[in-house]
Amino acid sequence: MAAAGIIFSNPALPNSILSAVGFYPSLLQTFGSTLINRVNKSAQGRLKIDSILPIVVDEHDIQNALEDHDFKENIRSKFRMTLSLDERYRLITLAMLQRSLDRRDQASIPLSLTDVEVQTLAREWWPQGFEDDSSLDAFQGLLQEMVGVGVLNEFSGSYAIRSSRIAA
């Protein structure tokens, strides 16, 4: 950002950005582009020709960039592309999100599901999708693929959607 003439008002802001984009490199790059574009547009009206860089970015600027329509659409698009790699990814993700919503409605905390719980849920939603190999080992391999592409996180043998921002 410094190379673009932008500095942060608080040294903790870069960490909040990393957290907001879930440490996804492609989303970080997209966010950086969005932030630079928004700040530059805003600065055009504020800066005089003889103004000195850098432009100082604060929490408000970051929040506005995170809420930017194009940025949010980019997140959704990348997530849809990832889920399209394997139709079972999409099914598992939607089933887990639905389970989380159900648990939230029941006032319980939807932290994560075990591999067996996810497999049971997925097979309830789409039995034909798992007919070729219905073993737990094969399903665990699928879950590990989903961890690898950034859709899920694994915590001590349980799985959760990696980012609530993506889930939204």
pLDDT at position 123, please? Answer: 95
- pLDDT of 167 > 60? The answer is no
Q: Which residues of 36-46 are buried (b: 16+ CB within 10 A; e: fewer)?
A: bebbeeeeeee
SS3 content of the chain, % helix, strand, coil (to 5): 65, 10, 25
Give percent of the chain with pLDDT exceeding 70: 86
pLDDT at position 102, please? Answer: 75
- Mean pLDDT in residue range 112-124: 94
- pLDDT of 109 > 70? The answer is no
Tokens 């639905």 sit on residue? 98
- pLDDT of 67 > 90? The answer is yes
pLDDT at position 2, please? Answer: 81
pLDDT at position 27, please? Answer: 87
Closest Cα to residue 125, out of 83, 159, 91? 91
Pairing of strands 6-8, 55-57: parallel
Token digits of residue 150 = 């950034």
Looking at the DSSP bridge assignments, the partners of residue 155 are: 158
Asked if omega into 14 is within 30° of 0 (cis), the reply is no
pLDDT at position 107, please? Answer: 54
Cβ atoms of 112 and 158 closer than 8 Å: yes
d(CA 109, CA 82) in angstroms, rounded, equals 27
